[in-house]
Amino acid sequence: FQPKVLKGKRVLVTAGPTFEALDPIRGITNHSSGKMGFAIARAAREAGADVTVVAGPVHLQTPRGVTRVDVKSARQMLDATLAGTANADVFIATAAVADWRPATESDQKIKKDGSGVAPTLSFTENPDILATVAKSDRAKTGRLFCVGFAAESHDLENNAQAKRARKGIPLLVGNIGPTTFGKDDNEMILVDANGVQALPRASKISLARQLVREIAKRNP
């Protein structure tokens, strides 16, 4: 049994990878499983919140009672997130959004032309969903509490604190990536204006429940 610490709150979570199409057959993606985001969606629902998960392509069951919006690309994820956060109280960005997308999407399959010359791909930067939402009026006036994630390979605490400032958000969760991808457990640090708090290695659902309690404390 979980205490209903988020009762009456609307929570939006982004989860999983994005898929950036090159042509109708191919695209660029990453190994994010979406497990952490889905665990957080489940934990927020257990805590009594009205929860939407905006999911990139993942192979996961929707947690009971959670509304799911499926998207592919970062731009679709941004649109769904902006729509969903317009009246949300908490936004938790766990998605592993592609930083770049192919500059053009071919409407036909890109074929070998027999010349033996490989095609050159060029890229365009994707929108930063979390930073965009954090700049919204609702976030800036404290009605929307934004939480980010950071997977760092080293110097977790300093990098996490720097990322929190750069994104302009009150709370950032750091973990040592990419070792957590696809796993059922994780370990985290929470960084906010007061400093750092460690959440030792545990299952993703246990960490999600702890995170939900920490978010609730900051959103009475």
Query: Is 170 within 8 Å of 193 (Cβ atoms)?
Result: yes
* Nearer Cβ to ligand C5P (43/130): 130
Mask for 20-59, x = binds ligand C5P (CB under 6 A): ----------------------------------------
* Nearer Cβ to ligand C5P (48/79): 79
Query: Is 28 within 8 Å of 19 (Cβ atoms)?
Result: yes
* Nearer Cβ to ligand C5P (14/33): 14
What is the per-residue DSSP string for 149-179? EEEESS-HHHHHHHHHHHHT-SEEEEEE-ST
Please report, as residue ranges, which positions from 79 to 138 form the binding site for ligand C5P (by CB under 6 A). Answer: 93-95, 97, 126, 128-130
Query: Is 56 within 8 Å of 72 (Cβ atoms)?
Result: yes
CB of 89 to ligand C5P, least distance (A): 18
Catalytic residue check, 159: no
Residue 204 labeled ligand binder: no
State the sign of the Cα–Cα–Cα–Cα dihedral 59, 71, 33, 86: negative
Q: Which among 152, 161, 144 has a CA at the least distance from the CA of 88?
A: 144
Catalytic residues: 30
Q: Which residues bind ligand C5P (CB under 6 A)?
A: 14, 74, 93-95, 97, 126, 128-130, 148-150
